[in-house]
Amino acid sequence: MCSNHRGQIGLVALVFAIVANGSASASACNNATLNGVYGFLVQGNDGTGFPSAAIDQFTADGAGNITSGTEFNSSSGTVQTVLFTGTYTIAKNCTGTLTLTKSPDTKDGSLDLDIVLDDSKKGFQLIRTDAGHQRIGFGLSQGIASCSQTGSAGVYALNLSGVYLNESNPAVSIVGQSKVSSNGNLSGTITSYFNDLPTDPSGKFSGTYSVGADCLGSSVITNGGVNYTFDTIVVGRGSELLILETDESPPKVVWGTEQK
């Protein structure tokens, strides 16, 4: 009985230690936690009820300042590349706010985001909070100092979704596999649905991909005799791409991810 009692005490102590460590981990955040280069994807509407999506890359200095940022934005079928700076605050419980100030010629000159960091402090969930917009998404640390064509080579799982902006606003959904070579060529297969109907029975595509040392990239994909262009941002130590379609004809808003 004495031995069993000690076992119960040991179990209670172990559970307490796990809870205590978990609480400490979840409460160990401050402005210094958000430090380095991050990418995020956000989608929703543009404040007028039309679909909108964007992929962003920013640099946080660990002291509450976003020193630089680049956004690829597709809103109501119009694509823009804009620069921004900003500020942020990260609380002890790992929640925070970001305020981004964009170049003055953009539709929304500034925006506010609420974020929640994950337990590894390498990623976050986000929602836009300024009035008139409904956008939600996620972000990940870039995790590497620079990118290269060779480092981007590999096999990726592809996931895209979005809307074509015609009278019926048909939705598009795509999953597939993309093979990227170190010389920038790519090929793959997809399963796609357009307005709830399967399309392109062959499901094959080819194309090219390029990426700069800043981990911003682009690709051109040919499928069914049609070319599609995309901007990309490398995150997750080179294991994931954030993707935004950038061709405007016909008007559309399409976004997604690729993961090695």
> Does residue 160 carry a pLDDT above 90?
yes
Indicate if the alpha-carbon torsion angle 53, 54, 60, 65 is positive or negative: negative
For the 31-141 domain, the top CATH level (class) is mainly beta
Can you tell me the mean pLDDT for 126-130?
93
β partners of residue 208:
185, 220
pLDDT of residue 56: 98
Confidence of residue 203 (pLDDT cuts 50, 70, 90): confident
CA 32 to chain centroid, in Å, comes to 21
Out of 2.40.160.90, 2.60.120.10, 3.40.50.620, 3.20.20.20, select the CATH number for domain 149-259. Answer: 2.40.160.90
Choice among 16-30, 73-87, 174-188 with the minimum mean pLDDT: 16-30
Per cent of the chain over pLDDT 70 is 84
Q: Percentages helix, strand, coil for the chain, rounded to the nearest 5?
A: 10, 60, 30
pLDDT of residue 8: 41
The three-class DSSP label of residue 237 is coil
Can you tell me the mean pLDDT for 192-214?
83
Ranges in the chain annotated CATH 2.40.160.90: 149-259
Summary mean pLDDT of the chain: 86
pLDDT of residue 25: 46
- pTM of structure: 0.86
Query: How far is the C-alpha of 186 from the C-alpha of 182, rounded, in Å?
Result: 9
Query: How far is the C-alpha of 152 from the C-alpha of 147, rounded, in Å?
Result: 7
> Does residue 161 carry a pLDDT above 60?
yes
Can you tell me the mean pLDDT for 44-51?
80
pLDDT of residue 103: 76
Q: What is the DSSP letter of 47?
A: S
Q: Do the Cβ atoms of 73 and 40 come closer than 8 Å? A: no
> Does residue 141 carry a pLDDT above 90?
yes
Query: Under 8 Å CB-to-CB from 98, ≥6 apart: which residues?
Result: 66, 86, 87, 88, 112, 113, 115, 126
Return the closest-CA partner of residue 230 out of 241, 214, 215.
Answer: 241
Query: How far is the C-alpha of 243 from the C-alpha of 158, rounded, in Å?
Result: 10
Dihedral (C-alpha) 246, 250, 254, 257: value to the nearest 10 degrees? -60
pLDDT of residue 133: 76
Q: What angle do CA 43, 44, 48 make, to 5 degrees?
A: 135
pLDDT of residue 198: 63
Query: How far is the C-alpha of 80 from the C-alpha of 222, rounded, in Å?
Result: 22
Choice among 17-21, 182-186, 233-237 with the minimum mean pLDDT: 17-21
β partners of residue 161:
173, 255
Q: Please report, in angstroms and rounded to a whole number, the separation of the first and last CA atoms in the chain.
A: 54
pLDDT of residue 242: 98
Return the closest-CA partner of residue 132 out of 245, 40, 41, 52.
Answer: 52
Q: What angle do CA 56, 60, 66 make, to 5 degrees?
A: 75
Per cent of the chain over pLDDT 90 is 68
pLDDT of residue 1: 42
CB atoms within 10 A of CB 252: 22
Whether the bond into 201 is cis, omega within 30 of 0: no
Can you tell me the mean pLDDT for 155-159?
97
